[in-house]
Chains A and B, each alone.
Chain A
Amino acid sequence: MGHFVLDARQLMCPMPVIRAQNRVAELQPGDTLEVHATDPGALHDIPTWCRINGHEVLSAVRTGNEISIVLRVAGT
């Protein structure tokens, strides 16, 4: 299981969630993905996307203008 980082900063919603979705499609169950974004909508959209697709959100924090979300890819 690996840990991966996705830079989605400066992208407007829904692009951060699209990039996260496409990256997750390349990962294995149990892998973790750390997404960095600046659009405040990502703080809501990426966890929602995770919930409806069964992925686990390990953390979602906003520090200043930057958002960091760590998710664990669901098993098949």
Chain B
Amino acid sequence: MPSQQRQTASVTDASRASEAGGTPRKAVALISGGLDSLLAARVILDQGIHVEGINFYTGFCVEGHTHAIRNHEHAKPKRNNALWTAEQLGIKLHIIEVIEEYKDVVINPKHGYGANLNPCLDCKGFMVRKAREWMEKNGFDFIITGEVLGQRPMSQRRDTLPVVARESGAFDRLLRPLCARLLPETLPEREGWVDRNKLLDFNGRSRKPQMALAERYGFKEYAQPAGGCCFLTNEQYSHKLADLWQTRGTKQYEIDDIMLLKVGRHLRPRPHFKMIVGRDEGENNFLNGYRKHFTHLFATSHEGPLVLIDGTVDDDDLRLAARLTARFGKGREAESVTLTVTDTAGNSRVLDVAPLPASDIPPEWYL
């Protein structure tokens, strides 16, 4: 059997029935909320294809949590960019939570990490595979993504785009409308479901072609997430995740772990404990929801942060943590600050400490 036939033979009976019945062709579009996936879906909608969007929530998505938590973000209109994109396009959007399944992608990436703990190639393969499963279950015909050849150093190279198509099982049912004319023909093109001549040949890291196309379509406002839409591309976040794995001695995480890495200042003054320090009222409120699971402390004589302690601490550690907590509050210049410390059993006690001078906080304590 020729390779191409073998690859397309993986489609389901539901999909084949759709073809045989002459029903309108249907594409599922990966919608990240960024400009590229918006444009890719629009290009295919223009060809009369029925398009529905799919968006995966991994727990590492940038939008959402942190935008809502910090005080200064409250002034900005908060929206889910994937939902907003779908509304602009007039398509349905299916948001799929993949937190548990995604752990294996982060912990054991077959293709390794990028500049930080971003497993971009494995991630793209995972998401296209999930989209392929959704396509087969729902009788859709092909998958579209906003990938652009040469745009990303790991997952969007000429040699890695085929890896995604192959490892996801999507093969030639994966169409990248923004760069399709630079790639081999896919099934939707060969079958005439879409006109290859109306697809695009975007290439490289420049965003100008996308911005010009957005203007032509009349999209005046769109998300432009710097460094992508994933916390794992963020150096500081990756450093905190690496610290978590190292100190626990295992590459595992729970959803609460990765949520807390997004919030507050993180300091590790001793190898066996870390402090998470709220930076404003919003973060203090968020951390307050976790206080029963951690030894925690806050100043009572002055305004200041709520601080969670991750690790096992003795009295000397607590005193150091209290001095640091005082340092980050409004009593930082006071001679003495009074704090309440509560352990995980709910036992509280009062400490009076002198705030730690800023000069006594080594930079390496900050994660």
- Do B289 and A10 have beta carbons less than 8 Å apart? yes
**A-facing residues in B21-40 (Cβ within 8 Å):** none
* A58, CB-defined interface residue at 8 Å: no
- Whether a CB of chain A sits under 8 angstroms from the CB of B182 is no
**Chain A's nearest CB lies how many Å from the CB of B318?**
28
Q: A45-B79, A48-B83, A49-B83 are in contact. Are A12 and B95 (CB under 8 A)?
A: no
Q: Are A44 and B78 in contact (CB under 8 A)?
A: yes
Contact residues in B for A12 (Cβ distance below 8 Å): 64-65, 68, 259
Q: How many residues of B contact A (CB 8 A)?
A: 27
Which chain A residues in 26-55 approach chain B with CB under 8 Å?
39-41, 44-45, 48-49, 51-53
Chain B residue nearest to A45 in the complex (CB): B80
Contacts A48-B84, A48-B87, A51-B87; A21 near B94 (Cβ below 8 A): yes
**Dominant SS among interface residues on chain A:** helix
Q: In the complex, are the beta carbons of A17 and B68 less than 8 A apart?
A: no
Residue of A nearest to B84 (CB): A48
Name B88's closest neighbour in chain A (CB-CB): A52
Given contacts A48-B79, A48-B84, contact A41 B92 (CB under 8 A): no
State in angstroms the CA–CA spacing of A34 and B86 once bound together: 23
A52-B94 in contact (CB<8A): no
A-B pair number, CB within 8 angstroms = 64
Which residue of chain A has its CB nearest to the CB of B82?
A14
Query: B64, B82, B289: which has the most chain A beta carbons within 10 Å?
Result: B64
- B217 at interface (Cβ–Cβ under 8 A)? no
- Bound Cα distance A14, B74 (Å): 17
Known: A17-B83, A39-B68, A41-B67. 16 other contacts (CB 8 A): A12-B64, A13-B68, A13-B78, A13-B80, A14-B61, A14-B82, A18-B96, A41-B68, A41-B79, A44-B77, A45-B79, A45-B80, A48-B80, A48-B87, A52-B83, A52-B86
Can you give 22 contacting A-B residue pairs, CB < 8 Å?
A: A12-B259, A13-B65, A13-B78, A14-B57, A14-B61, A14-B95, A17-B83, A17-B95, A21-B94, A21-B95, A40-B68, A40-B78, A41-B78, A44-B77, A45-B79, A45-B80, A48-B79, A48-B80, A52-B90, A52-B91, A52-B92, A53-B92
